[in-house]
């Protein structure tokens, strides 16, 4: 028989647990303890408010260009909550919410946003990689980490974040292929936020989903409602368990929406409609999760209000700390010569000394 059906990826699933209207699939609902639920909510709210404040600091010239996370908090926090401190977090440049969950210093983040390299400092021994700007370039790094983990017979997992735009880059395909071939403990987390600057998802790829791209590399793929933090958590746990138990990588597609600008240098109204934005505002993951928690009787309006005011003073404190630190850092322009090499070579010492002495170039 010359033509037979190939048994390639017969099914592709979409996971949704907590719907837009607050409807809940009780069979799929994870059994999370109250403390964890409230912590997920606290970090979501903190990320949202931190984003709002950063936008106002950027607009008033106090910090530079940054990439807001607004709308993607459930996607990031839901999946990243599935890894533990010993696991590896490999972000792109919009993972503020996930980084906050991981315990990143928000003061450092403000320094970074204000253009100080010191804000990017990683503590020795940290398993959280710094921000990676060139789209998709961090995916192969996650693969290499996965290889090192596998070789050391450790039970750590690597979780790497990227967007829908990244799936067009060669690095995405090369990384998935490597991870598949070597059977590595990597969770590939695509936040499909529908737009890569001005390019909509359906012009980014002719594929009907991003999750299906996993099939080409022999990995499982799962599409998830990225504005449903319960579904993101469950999908993350499933993929992390697969990776940790030696069953290899997974590609997760978290369908979400960039409610704000690509970066503060961008104007979305040039390319997308307010109707579309409104439709996604209605799917905002934050009020959806709040309604769920209120329904469960573990959160109420007073508690939200109290948390809001705690967060507000926390962020004010972060700004005060960052401002103080910036004033100190600004006194040290010669810092630009640090950390290029372990030991500063002679030519850089000469250039640094010449700068300090107000000499020539």
Partner 1 sequence: MGVDAEMSEMTMVESLNLALDQEMESDERVLLLGEDVGEDGGIFRVSEGLNEKYGPERVIDTPLAESAIVGTALGMALGGLRPVAELQFMGFSYFAMHQIESHVSRYRWRSQGGMHLPMVIRMPYGAGVRALEHHSESKEVFYAHIPGLKTVIPSGPRNARALLASAIRDPDPVIFLEPKRSYRSFREDVPEEPETVPIGAAELVRRGEDLTFICYGAMLRPVLEVADGLADRGVSSDVLDLRTVAPLDVDAIEESVRNTGRAVVVTEAHRAFGPASEIVASIVDRVFFYLEAPVERVTGYDIHVPYFAREFDYLPDVEHIERAARRALEV
Q: How far apart are CA 16 and CA 121, in angstroms?
A: 37
Stretch of 43-51, 165-173, 213-221, 275-283 lying at the interface with partner 1 (CB under 8 A): 165-173
User: Does residue number 117 form part of the binding site for partner 1 (CB under 8 A)?
Assistant: yes
Nearest approach, Cβ of 113 to partner 1 (angstroms)?
Answer: 9
Looking only at residues 20 through 39 of this chain, which bind partner 1 when binding is defined by CB under 8 A?
none
Stretch of 39-47, 180-188, 262-270, 305-313 lying at the interface with partner 1 (CB under 8 A): 262-270
Selected from 14, 305, 330, 353, the binder of partner 1 by CB under 8 A is 330
For residue 153, with 0-12 CB atoms within 10 Å meaning exposed, 13-18 middle and 19 or more buried, which class applies? Answer: exposed
Nearest approach, Cβ of 187 to partner 1 (angstroms)?
Answer: 22
The CA-CA-CA angle for residues 90, 91, 96, to 5°, reads: 135
User: Does residue number 215 form part of the binding site for partner 1 (CB under 8 A)?
Assistant: no
User: Does residue number 8 form part of the binding site for partner 1 (CB under 8 A)?
Assistant: no
Q: Which is nearer to partner 1, 246 or 333 (CB)?
A: 333
Among this protein's residues, is 257 annotated catalytic? no
- Tally of CB atoms within 10 A around 190: 29
DSSP 235-258: HHHHHHHHHHTT---EEEEEE---
Nearest approach, Cβ of 359 to partner 1 (angstroms)?
Answer: 8
CA distances (Å), origin 229, targets 75, 80, 141, 252, 311: 6, 11, 27, 14, 20
- Tally of CB atoms within 10 A around 275: 7
User: Does residue number 326 form part of the binding site for partner 1 (CB under 8 A)?
Assistant: yes
Selected from 103, 134, 287, 295, the binder of partner 1 by CB under 8 A is 134
Selected from 103, 115, 287, 295, the binder of partner 1 by CB under 8 A is 115
SS3 92: coil
User: Does residue number 182 form part of the binding site for partner 1 (CB under 8 A)?
Assistant: no
Q: How far apart are CA 159 and CA 150, in angstroms?
A: 14
Short-list 12, 13, 27, 32, CA closest to 229? 32
Bridge pairing between strands 195-196 and 186-192: unpaired
- Backbone phi, then psi, for 285, in 5-degree steps? -70, -25
Among this protein's residues, is 242 annotated catalytic? no
Stretch of 17-25, 213-221, 303-311, 328-336 lying at the interface with partner 1 (CB under 8 A): 328-336
Q: Which of 262, 283, 288, 292 is catalytic?
A: 262
Residues 6+ apart with CB under 8 A from 135: 92, 162, 163, 165, 166, 169
Among this protein's residues, is 341 annotated catalytic? no
User: Does residue number 141 form part of the binding site for partner 1 (CB under 8 A)?
Assistant: no
CA distances (Å), origin 97, targets 73, 91, 106, 261: 6, 11, 10, 16
Selected from 119, 220, 249, 285, the binder of partner 1 by CB under 8 A is 119
| Residues engaged in binding partner 1 (CB under 8 A) | 64-65, 93, 112, 114-117, 119-120, 131, 133-137, 165-166, 168-171, 196-199, 203-205, 263, 265-266, 270-271, 326, 329-330, 333, 335-337, 340, 347-348, 351, 355, 359-361
């Amino acid at each position: 028989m010359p033509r037979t059906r190939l048994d390639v990826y017969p099914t592709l699933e979409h996971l949704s647990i907590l719907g837009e209207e607050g409807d809940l699939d009780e069979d799929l609902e994870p059994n999370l303890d109250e403390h964890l639920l409230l912590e997920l909510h606290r970090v979501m709210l903190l990320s949202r408010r931190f984003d709002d404040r950063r936008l106002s600091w950027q607009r008033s010239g106090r910090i530079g260009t940054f990439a807001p996370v607004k709308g993607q908090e459930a996607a990031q926090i839901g999946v990243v909550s599935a890894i533990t401190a010993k696991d590896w977090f490999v972000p792109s440049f919009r993972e503020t919410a996930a980084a906050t969950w991981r315990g990143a210093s928000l003061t450092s983040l403000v320094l970074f946003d204000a253009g100080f390299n010191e804000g990017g400092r990683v503590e020795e021994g940290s398993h959280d990689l710094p921000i990676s700007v060139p789209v998709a370039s961090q995916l192969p790094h996650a693969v290499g980490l996965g290889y090192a983990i596998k070789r050391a017979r450790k039970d750590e997992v690597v979780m790497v974040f990227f967007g829908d735009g990244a799936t067009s880059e060669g690095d995405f395909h090369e990384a998935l292929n490597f991870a598949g071939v070597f059977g590595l403990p990597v969770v590939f987390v695509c936040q499909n936020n529908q737009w890569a600057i001005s390019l909509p998802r359906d012009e980014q790829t002719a594929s009907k989903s991003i999750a299906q791209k996993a099939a080409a590399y022999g990995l499982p793929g799962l599409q998830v409602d990225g504005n449903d933090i319960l579904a993101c958590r469950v999908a993350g746990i499933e993929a992390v368990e697969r990776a940790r138990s030696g069953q290899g990588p997974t590609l997760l597609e978290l369908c979400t929406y960039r409610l704000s600008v690509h970066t503060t240098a961008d104007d979305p109204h040039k390319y997308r409609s307010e109707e579309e934005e409104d439709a996604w505002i209605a799917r905002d993951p934050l009020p959806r999760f709040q309604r769920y928690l209120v329904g469960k009787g573990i959160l109420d309006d007073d508690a939200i209000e109290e948390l809001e005011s705690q967060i507000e003073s926390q962020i004010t404190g972060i700004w005060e700390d960052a401002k103080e630190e910036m004033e100190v850092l600004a006194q040290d322009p010669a810092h630009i010569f640090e950390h290029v090499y372990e030991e500063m070579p002679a030519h850089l010492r000469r250039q640094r000394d010449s700068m300090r002495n107000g000499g020539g170039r």
